[in-house]
Amino acid sequence: MARPRSLDAKLVEHAKGLAAQAQSVEHLRLAQAVLLPALLGATLEQTAAALGIGRATVGRYQAKVRRHLTHPAQRDPSWGGRRRAAMSVEEEIEFLEPWAQAAADGGMLIVAPLRAALAQRLGRPVTHSVVYRLLARHGWRKVAPDTRHPKSDPLAQELWKKNCPTCWMPSSAPRRSVADECA
């Protein structure tokens, strides 16, 4: 059997004050998560059923009230952030600097050597996705070739198509042989 939660008198008084000043349903639920077990002896399951929330949420609400009691000016910690970051953003920038120099000189960036260097730096193997997320985080992207050459001349191409029917045939035109052209 689990040990009962310890809800001291100071916390209960603070929760009563929160309930009296509650301006939203959320604030009232926070206070009730403390008051129902403390005053009525309700279990976490009973409190969760009464408030219409999950059992684990009751514990979170009690912890939130306790945090508010000890640190009233502190904001609630958010769930976001890079919890499993291998390097800080500054270290990543420092790591990518030589690769950025090579890419700026017109060289291609190949992921395999970058992955090997990153694995050596971290002292453990890394997957390709780690490298791709690292590059995306710093604004790198894959540059794909364009559909046409930048120095192409569309007018010259059209003139060539018109003046050289034996060499080039559109796919919709009927096929003619060279013998037909000469006849």
Query: In this prediction, what percent of the chain has a pLDDT beyond 90?
Result: 42
Judge contact between 35 and 12, C-beta under 8 A.
Answer: yes
Cα–Cα distance for residue pair 147/141, rounded to 1 Å: 18
> Can you tell me the mean pLDDT for 108-124?
93
Which residue in the block uniquely carries the two structure tokens 């005053």?
39
To the question of pTM greater than 0.75 for the whole model, the response is no
Q: Are residues 46 and 18 in the same domain?
A: yes
> Is residue 100 scored above 70 in pLDDT?
yes
Cα–Cα distance for residue pair 168/12, rounded to 1 Å: 89
64 lies in which domain range? 9-70
Cα–Cα distance for residue pair 171/175, rounded to 1 Å: 8
Question: Confidence band (pLDDT; 50, 70, 90) for 181?
Answer: low
**66: in domain:** yes
**34: in domain:** yes
Q: Are residues 16 and 62 in the same domain?
A: yes
Q: Are residues 62 and 103 in the same domain?
A: no
Question: Confidence band (pLDDT; 50, 70, 90) for 47?
Answer: very high
Eight-state DSSP code of residue 18: H
Q: Are residues 53 and 94 in the same domain?
A: no
> Can you tell me the mean pLDDT for 152-171?
76
Alpha helices in 41-153 (DSSP H): 44-51, 55-70, 89-104, 111-122, 128-137
**Mean of the per-residue pLDDT values for the chain?**
84
Count of domains in the chain?
Answer: 2
**61: in domain:** yes
Q: Are residues 63 and 103 in the same domain?
A: no
Judge contact between 47 and 58, C-beta under 8 A.
Answer: yes
> Can you tell me the mean pLDDT for 27-33?
92
Cα–Cα distance for residue pair 37/41, rounded to 1 Å: 4
Question: Confidence band (pLDDT; 50, 70, 90) for 131?
Answer: very high
Which residue in the block uniquely carries the two structure tokens 């990518």?
96
